[in-house]
Structure 1
Amino acid sequence: MQSQDLRQTCGIIVRMNTHDASQLPVFDPTGDESGLVIYRASRLEALLAPLRDLLAATAAQDPLQPQTVLAAHPGMKQWLTGALARQMGAQGIVANLQVLLPSSWIGKLALDQLGEHAVSLPRWQRQHLRWSLDQWLGDAAQIQGLDDPRIATFLDPQLPEGERARRRYQLADRLAGLYSRYLVYRPDWLQAWAGGQHRYATAGQGDSQWAATESRLLAPLWQHAVKHLGSHRAQLLAKLEQRLQSQSLAPQPALHVFGLSHLAPAELAILRAYARHGLVALYLPDPCRDYWGVLEAGDASLWRQQEDSLIAAAEGGDWWRPARHELLARWGRLGQHFFSSLLEGEVREDVRHWQDDETPATANRLTRLQQSIRHLDESLLCPSDDLASEQQDVSLRIHLAHTPQRELEILRDAMLDARARGIEPGQMLVMAPDMQRYLPLLPALFGEPGNPNERLPYHSADVSMSATHPLYGAFLRLLGLPGSRLEVTEVLDILAIPEVARRFGLDDSALERLTEILAQSRVAWSLDARHRASFAVPACAEHGFAWAMDRMIAGYLGSDAGGDAITAWQLPDGTEMLPLAHLDASDAAALGALDALLQQVQKMLSLSDSSLPTSEWVQYFQALCEALLCVDTRDGAAEDAWQALRQVIAGLRNEPAVAGLDPVLHFRVAVDWLKAALQAVPERQPFLLGGVTFSGMVPQRAIPFRFIAVLGLNEGEFPRSSEDGGLDLMRRLRRRGDRDLRQDDRYLFLETLMSARSQLHLSYLGEAVKDGTPRNPAAPLAELMAVLEQADGACSAAMKNAAPWRVKHPLQPFDRRYFDGSDVRLFSYQAAFAGLHQKPAEMAQAQMQAKNPPEDTLALSAFNAYWRDPAKQLLAGRIRLSLEALEDDRLSGEEPGDDALSWQDSIAQRLLFEEVLADPAWRGDVMPDWLRLDGRLPVGQLGIEAWYQERELILYLAGCLRDQGVLADNLQKQRLVIDLDVPLETGSLRISGQVRDLLQHPSGGWQLLTFLRPVQDDKGEWKDQKLRFDKRCRIFIDYLVTRLSLPQEVPLYCTLTWAQQDKWIASLHQADALYRSGELPRERLEARLAWLVEAWLAAPAHPRRYFPRTSWAAWEAMQKDGGDGVLIAKAIANAWDGFGGGERDYSPGYTRLLAGDETFAPGTPAFTELCDFTRALAAQLEYFMEPEA
Structure 2
Amino acid sequence: MLTIHFANRTERLAGLLVERIGAGPVFTPDEVIVPSAALRRYLTLALAQQHGICANVRFGYLAQSLWGWIARVVPGVQAESPFAPGVLAWRIFAAFDAPGAFDAYPRLRDYLAHGDAVMRFELAQQVAGLFDQYITYRPEWLSRWSAGQSIAHGAGAGLQVTADEAWQAALWRRLATEAGAAHPAEAFAAALATHGDALVAAGTLPAALHVFCLPSMPPLHLGLLQALGQCVDVQLYALNPCREYWLEVTDRRRLAYLAARAAPGEELHHEEGNRLLAAWGKQTKAQLELLIAATGDAVIDEAHFDEPGADPEREPESASLLARVQRSMLDLTELAPGSVALDERDRSIEVHVCHGLARELEVLHDRLLALFAAPQPPAPSDILVVTPDLEAAAPLIDAIFGTAPADRRIPFHVTGRGRSSVNPVARTLLDLLALAGSRFAASAVFGLLQQPIVARRFGLATEDLAQVHAWLEDAGVHWALDAGHRASFGLPAQARYSFADGLDRLYLGYALPARIDAPFGARLPAGDAEGSDAVALGALWRFVGLLAALQRRVAAPLAATDWTTLLTELLHDFLAPQGEEVEDLRETQAAIERFADELQRATPEQRLPLDVLRSALTAALDDAARGGVPTGAVTFAAMNSLRNLPCKVVCAIGLNDGAFPTQARPAEYDLMTRDARPGDRQRRVDERNLFLDLLLAAREHFYLSYTGRSLRDNAPLPPSTLVSELLDTLLPAIAGERDAARARLVVQHPLQGFADIGFRADVDPRLRSFDSEIAAALRQRTTEPPETPPRAAPPEEDDD
Q: CA deviation at 1:288?
A: 1.9
Q: 1:372 to 1:536 in 2, by over 3 A?
A: farther
Q: CA deviation at 1:95?
A: 5.8
Q: CA deviation at 1:500?
A: 0.9
Q: Is the 8 A contact 2:322 2:701 kept in 1?
A: yes
Structure 2 equivalent of residue 223 of structure 1? 173
Q: CA deviation at 1:824?
A: 1.8
Give the distance between the partners of 1:427 and 1:336, measured in 2 at CA.
28
Question: Is structure 2 residue 772 aligned with structure 1 residue 831?
Answer: yes
Give the distance between the partners of 1:533 and 1:278, measured in 2 at CA.
67
Q: CA deviation at 1:355?
A: 2.7
Find 1:155's aligned residue among 95, 99, 112.
112
Structure 2 equivalent of residue 272 of structure 1? 226
Q: Is the 8 A contact 1:464 1:682 kept in 2?
A: no
Question: Is structure 2 residue 394 aligned with structure 1 residue 439?
Answer: yes
Q: 1:767 to 1:521 in 2, by over 3 A?
A: farther
* 264-273 or 524-533, which deviates more: 524-533
Give the distance between the partners of 2:754 and 2:476, measured in 1 at CA.
40
Structure 1 equivalent of residue 127 of structure 2? 175
Question: Is structure 2 residue 67 aligned with structure 1 residue 107?
Answer: yes
Give the distance between the partners of 1:719 and 1:413, measured in 2 at CA.
27
1:1015-1034 residue pairs with structure 2 within 5 A? none
Q: 1:275 to 1:834 in 2, by over 3 A?
A: same
C-alpha deviations, 1:773-825, integer Å up to 9, x for none?
54443333343244344545x7413325x433223333433333322343321
Q: Secondary structure at the match of 1:631?
A: coil
Find 1:463's aligned residue among 417, 441, 458.
417
Q: 1:290 to 1:516 in 2, by over 3 A?
A: same
Q: Secondary structure at the match of 1:707?
A: strand
Q: CA deviation at 1:324?
A: 2.7
- RMSD, aligned CA: 4.1
Q: CA deviation at 1:841?
A: 8.7
Give the distance between the partners of 2:486 and 2:776, measured in 1 at CA.
52
Amino acid at match of 1:348: V
Find 2:97's aligned residue among 126, 135, 138.
138
Q: Is the 8 A contact 1:365 1:381 kept in 2?
A: no
Find 2:162's aligned residue among 193, 211, 216.
211
Q: CA deviation at 1:281?
A: 3.6
Q: CA deviation at 1:105?
A: 4.0
Structure 2 equivalent of residue 236 of structure 1? 184
Q: 1:532 to 1:728 in 2, by over 3 A?
A: same
Amino acid at match of 1:257: V
1:247-258 residue pairs with structure 2 within 5 A? 249=197, 253-258=207-212
Structure 2 equivalent of residue 365 of structure 1? 321
Q: Which structure has the bigger radius of gyration?
A: 1
Question: Is structure 2 residue 550 aligned with structure 1 residue 626?
Answer: no
Give the distance between the partners of 1:493 and 1:725, measured in 2 at CA.
38
Q: CA deviation at 1:209?
A: 0.7
Q: CA deviation at 1:290?
A: 1.6
Q: CA deviation at 1:203?
A: 4.1
Q: Is the 8 A contact 2:560 2:600 kept in 1?
A: no
Q: Secondary structure at the match of 1:747?
A: helix
Q: CA deviation at 1:282?
A: 3.0
Question: Is structure 2 residue 140 aligned with structure 1 residue 188?
Answer: yes
Find 1:77's aligned residue among 40, 45, 49.
40
Find 1:290's aligned residue among 244, 256, 272.
244
Q: 1:44 to 1:142 in 2, by over 3 A?
A: closer
Q: Is the 8 A contact 1:522 1:548 kept in 2?
A: yes
Amino acid at match of 1:238: E
Q: 1:616 to 1:748 in 2, by over 3 A?
A: same
Structure 1 equivalent of residue 746 of structure 2? 806
C-alpha deviations, 1:1057-1109, integer Å up to 9, x for none?
xxxxxxxxxxxxxxxxxxxxxxxxxxxxxxxxxxxxxxxxxxxxxxxxxxxxx
Amino acid at match of 2:246: W
Q: 1:407 to 1:513 in 2, by over 3 A?
A: farther
Give the distance between the partners of 2:494 and 2:485, measured in 1 at CA.
10
Q: 1:522 to 1:137 in 2, by over 3 A?
A: closer
Q: Is the 8 A contact 1:465 1:678 kept in 2?
A: yes
Q: CA deviation at 1:446?
A: 3.8
Q: 1:245 to 1:591 in 2, by over 3 A?
A: same
Q: CA deviation at 1:519?
A: 5.8
Question: Is structure 2 residue 430 aligned with structure 1 residue 476?
Answer: yes
C-alpha deviations, 1:221-265, integer Å up to 9, x for none?
111211221234xx3222233344459846984544322332111
Q: 1:529 to 1:762 in 2, by over 3 A?
A: farther
Q: CA deviation at 1:332?
A: 1.0
Find 1:428's aligned residue among 383, 402, 412.
383
Amino acid at match of 1:466: S
* 637-646 or 500-509, which deviates more: 637-646
Question: Is structure 2 residue 347 aligned with structure 1 residue 394?
Answer: yes
Q: Secondary structure at the match of 1:838?
A: helix
Give the distance between the partners of 2:765 and 2:681, measured in 1 at CA.
42
Matched-pair identity in %: 31
Q: Secondary structure at the match of 1:698?
A: coil
Q: CA deviation at 1:214?
A: 0.9
Structure 2 equivalent of residue 419 of structure 1? 372
Question: Is structure 2 residue 693 aligned with structure 1 residue 751?
Answer: yes
Q: CA deviation at 1:336?
A: 0.8
Amino acid at match of 2:752: Q
* 496-505 or 69-78, which deviates more: 69-78
Q: 1:812 to 1:279 in 2, by over 3 A?
A: same
Structure 2 equivalent of residue 38 of structure 1? 4
1:607-626 residue pairs with structure 2 within 5 A? 610-626=556-572
Q: CA deviation at 1:839?
A: 6.8
Question: Is structure 2 residue 289 aligned with structure 1 residue 340?
Answer: yes
Amino acid at match of 1:346: D
1:697-736 residue pairs with structure 2 within 5 A? 697-720=639-662, 725-736=667-678
Q: Is the 8 A contact 1:45 1:704 kept in 2?
A: yes
Q: Is the 8 A contact 1:189 1:201 kept in 2?
A: no
Find 1:377's aligned residue among 316, 333, 344.
333
- Please, what TM-score do these two structures have when normalized by structure 1? 0.58
Q: CA deviation at 1:417?
A: 2.3
Q: 1:64 to 1:536 in 2, by over 3 A?
A: same
Q: Secondary structure at the match of 1:361?
A: helix
Structure 1 equivalent of residue 791 of structure 2? none
Q: 1:65 to 1:545 in 2, by over 3 A?
A: closer
Q: Is the 8 A contact 1:465 1:682 kept in 2?
A: no
Q: CA deviation at 1:208?
A: 1.0
Q: CA deviation at 1:604?
A: 4.8
Question: Is structure 2 residue 642 aligned with structure 1 residue 692?
Answer: no
Amino acid at match of 2:384: L
Give the distance between the partners of 1:534 and 1:394, measured in 2 at CA.
65
Amino acid at match of 1:796: E
C-alpha deviations, 1:416-459, integer Å up to 9, x for none?
2222231001212222233233334444444499xx99943333
C-alpha deviations, 1:281-331, integer Å up to 9, x for none?
43322122322122169xxxxxx9x99x99xxxxxxxxxx97233322321
Find 2:757's aligned residue among 817, 827, 834.
817
Give the distance between the partners of 2:513 and 2:753, measured in 1 at CA.
52
Give the distance between the partners of 1:549 and 1:167, measured in 2 at CA.
38
Q: 1:605 to 1:111 in 2, by over 3 A?
A: closer
Q: Secondary structure at the match of 2:656?
A: coil
Amino acid at match of 1:189: W
Give the distance between the partners of 1:432 and 1:807, measured in 2 at CA.
19
Give the distance between the partners of 1:334 and 1:323, measured in 2 at CA.
16
Structure 1 equivalent of residue 452 of structure 2? 498
Give the distance between the partners of 2:86 and 2:210, measured in 1 at CA.
31
Q: Is the 8 A contact 1:615 1:653 kept in 2?
A: yes
Q: Which runs of 5+ in 1 are unaligned?
A: 1-33, 298-303, 311-320, 847-1189
Q: Secondary structure at the match of 2:33?
A: strand
Give the distance between the partners of 2:751 and 2:495, measured in 1 at CA.
46
Q: CA deviation at 1:551?
A: 5.7
